Amino acid sequence: MSTFKIHTLGCGSAKPTLRHQPSSTVIDHRGNLFMVDCGEGAQHAFQRHRLKFSRLGHIFLTHLHGDHVLGLPGLISSLGLGGAGGKMVIHTFADGKRILNRIFNFFSGDLPFEVEFNVIREEEAVILDTPSLTVRTIPLDHRVPAVGFVFEEKPGLRHIKRDMIDFHQVPFSMINRIKGGEDFVKPDGTVIPNVMLTSPPTPPLSYAHISDTAYMPEIAEKIGPVNLLFHETTYLDSHSAEAAQRGHSTARQAAMVARDAGAGALLTGHYSSRYKNDEDFRKEALDIFPNVILNREGLVTPLD
């Protein structure tokens, strides 16, 4: 079972269609849920994915356009009606904190949980650091302040070789230190090198979420070689001039970023309503980059 997976709740753009919901994604990392953007209908999609609201502790907003935010008041109100406790951290710009505070106070009343705002900026910065995961921001080029988010696992411990541990009679109290890389010194002074007792740790996984932005070739280096890159593909290349004017990217441009970043796979999305066949986005991206996943509502994409 995957320990790091991406749930697509909505992958449409601003104009509603019957095929796609507005932007919303949930990252499931070892059972902890992180939402990126919360377009209308996100709470219903969340339930359709059989996700547990009690495991959602952080919501990250890429920018303050309605198709990325307007599902949040309903979600917070529903969490309040459900008696959720604990704390919800919303990572957003200063304007987002000001606006959402007023909305929550007006519509949601006294919530049974704490809403905490972490004010972010258009800068490269680590905005969340947990024992197993970090989240950092990357400035984007859109019509309003916008950032992308990169979720990166921290390196894990080495894996013990049970037969060697038993053979050398390593005491249980030493196991965590051995996993951490220590050699084992026997009572007679014999040193057993760590490489004889363990195997390398599982390589850490990473996911980048790059929503509304004009094409930024320089962003590839800032993203780095992630396992999975979601990069908006609002337009096809035939509308590249309009994409640039509106602060968006084409499928071809997203594939170029994925290629230059050394991503393992590209996940498409944020489709303009003018296009009737989503497969065209995948075909255009495949001309540049070999591993393209065509996004859709209900899709679950494992990283491992």
CATH classification of the domain holding 67: 3.60.15.10
Same domain, 134 and 173: no
At residue 110 the predicted structure's pLDDT band, cuts being 50, 70 and 90, is: confident
Same domain, 169 and 256: no
Average pLDDT over residues 101-105: 93
Domain that holds residue 226: 4-156+202-302
Same domain, 59 and 195: no
> In the prediction, which pLDDT does 304 show?
85
Instruction: Evaluate whether 42 touches 7 at the Cβ level (below 8 Å).
Output: no
Same domain, 89 and 24: yes
Same domain, 94 and 214: yes
Same domain, 59 and 185: no
Average pLDDT over residues 276-288: 97
Q: In this model, does residue 157 exceed pLDDT 90?
A: no
Q: In this model, does residue 85 exceed pLDDT 80?
A: no
Report how far Cα 263 is from the mean position of its chain's Cα atoms: 14
For residues 174 and 16, the model is more confident at 174
> In the prediction, which pLDDT does 82 show?
79
Same domain, 70 and 166: no
> In the prediction, which pLDDT does 109 show?
76
At residue 2 the predicted structure's pLDDT band, cuts being 50, 70 and 90, is: confident
The count of structural domains within the chain is 2
Residues labelled catalytic? 67
pLDDT digits (tens, 9 = 90+) for 137-149: 999 999 999 999 9
Domain final residue, candidates 199, 226, 253: 199
Domain final residue, candidates 178, 199, 220: 199
> In the prediction, which pLDDT does 81 show?
85
Same domain, 185 and 263: no
Same domain, 182 and 206: no
Domain final residue, candidates 167, 199, 231: 199
Q: To 10 degrees, what angle do helices 94-107 and 72-81 make?
A: 50
Sign of the dihedral defined by the CA atoms of residues 297, 228, 2, 151, in that order: negative
> In the prediction, which pLDDT does 86 show?
85
- First-to-last alpha carbon distance for the chain, in angstroms, is 9
pLDDT digits (tens, 9 = 90+) for 27-62: 999 999 999 999 999 999 999 999 999 999 999 999
Same domain, 119 and 228: yes
Same domain, 279 and 237: yes
**How far, in Å, CA of 227 to CA of 204, rounded?**
9
**How far, in Å, CA of 149 to CA of 165, rounded?**
40
Same domain, 66 and 106: yes
